[in-house]
Structures are given as structure tokens and as C-alpha cells.
Amino acid sequence: MDTNDPSTLRQIVKEKYGEIAEQSKRQGGSTCCGSGCGCSSDVDGMAEQYTNVIGYVKEADLGLGCGIPTEFAKIKPGDTVVDLGSGAGNDCFVARAIVGDTGRVIGLDMTEKMIAKANANNTRFGFSNVEFVLGDIETMPIEPKTADVVVSNCVLNLVPDKRKAFAEMFRVMKPGGHFTISDIVLEGSLPDRLRDVATMYAGCVSGAIEKKEYLALLEKAGFRNITVVKSRDTNLPDDILLQYVSKAELDEYRKTGAGVFSITVCGEKPTT
């Protein structure tokens, strides 16, 4: 299997998250790894607790995030919010509570089973201002200048063509709009083995890129005032990494001081 081929990687991610959609948070674990990705449910460092967040819907929380982007998104009543990689609807439902009846929330996901799960949650709670759309982040089926705010939670690291994804974010955002993204980035370099393993790509970190490169791509897409408002070391334990690299490779990796970080980054689309 050619794991460097973007179409292959998209299919891997789609299949893995389709499996996760059929499981509960307990079954799937409490990390962005989910079930079947080769990561242990002991890796709790990525997900954050939503329990006290207004609008939180427990049934929509599969524990797949690495932050709470709505916490910093400055969403206002009446806004239109687009959530990229909306999963079962967790961040969409939080955003819905903020935008109110005059606002609108659109969740975009590439996985049919996630869309079905999100729609079932939406129907169950009777939310009329939330909709879920099937599609790829690199080619969003969303009209230009739709969003006042774009959010995303531990998803864009899985997208093969981040340049294209950020360009699409820019396109669907209104002039003067802004984004808040929680995602996984690297400081330093991961061993090649971690980058090459398909299941690791679909799970935790191997789709991630260097933080400097990530921020530079956002700037090249046209965004301004790009700011990292939160950063956490994910502290992936040795027993997890040893599933993918040798002890010698791991020792060398640890010596470099490299790491895997969860960041929350904000930015704006210029008004002109």
C-alpha cells in the first residue's frame, strides 16, 4: 500500500473514522487515535474535557479532539460557523449554543458514517440551525464567503494537502472572518518509521507537520494576525512509540528534543 499517495491516505482515514463512528467514546478511547489506529486508550493527553462547556452534548463527543477551539473562537450570536471535520457533531453543538436561533452552524465531514451519526444526534435534540454536509476539506461543497467563523479540532493534521485545505478555508470565509483550529503539530522531526505507518497516520501524529511550516502555510493562504493561543506537549509514552520504531530509534528521537504538540491557533481573513 502506497501511504504517500494522497488518495490512499484519504481512504485510510475515511475507513478508520467510519469504524470509530460505530463505537462509543468508551470503545473508541479518549484520544484522537480512536479505535483500531494502533494507539492505546491510555494516551489521554490530546483530548480535553468538555463536561462544563455550554452546549455540550455528551452523545456527540467521541473523544477525538485535541483542544476546545470554540473556547477561543470569539463566536457571536447570529454568526455562521463552519466546523471542518465535524465528526458526530460535538463542536457544532457547542457553537450552536453560542450563535443562538439567529445563527447557523455547518459541519463538514468526509465520512458517511460520521455524517449519519451527527444527523441522528441533531434529530434527537431537535436543533434547527445545524446542518451536516458530506465532503472533503480540500474541495469543500460550501459557497464562498459563507462563514463568519471556521473551527476545526484535530482534523487538519490528517489532510494530505494542507495548502489546498487552507485555501479552501480562506475561500469559504467572509472578509473579516476568522478561524480557530486545534491541531497536532511537530517541533523537530519524527523518525521516518512514524511518518510511514498508515495506521499511525490515521490515528495520532504522522500526518502532522512542523509548527513553523503549518503557520507559514496559513499565512500563504492569505490569513493575517495568526496567533498560537494555546500549546500542550502530548507526551506520547514510550510504549506507544515502540509499536512503530525500534528502541535505538526511540532513544535517538528523545535526544533531539523533538515533540508532538497540540496547539490552538487563531487567524483572520482581511476585510479587503
Number of folded domains in the chain? Answer: 1
Residue 20 counted as domain residue: yes
Q: Are 245 and 194 in contact (CB under 8 A)?
A: yes
pLDDT in tens, the chain (272 residues): 444 566 766 666 766 766 776 765 544 444 444 433 434 333 445 678 898 999 999 999 988 888 999 999 999 999 999 999 999 999 999 999 999 999 999 999 999 999 999 999 999 999 999 999 999 999 999 999 999 999 999 999 888 899 999 999 999 999 999 999 999 898 887 777 776 664 565 555 657 789 999 999 999 999 999 999 999 887 777 887 888 888 998 888 888 878 888 999 999 999 98
Distances (CA, A) of 110 to 22, 169, 225, 268: 15, 15, 29, 25
CATH of the domain at 161: 3.40.50.150
Nearest to 54 by CA among 71, 66, 67: 71
Partners of 83 in the beta sheet?
A: 107, 151
Q: Are 69 and 156 in contact (CB under 8 A)?
A: no
**Owning domain of residue 21:** 6-267
DSSP-H helix ranges across the chain: 6-21, 25-28, 90-99, 112-125, 162-172, 192-196, 198-203, 211-220, 238-241, 247-256
Residue 272 counted as domain residue: no
Q: Are 234 and 203 in contact (CB under 8 A)?
A: no
Residue 1 counted as domain residue: no
Query: What is the C-alpha separation between 144 and 221, in angstroms, rounded?
Result: 15
Grid cell digits, residue 202: 490515521
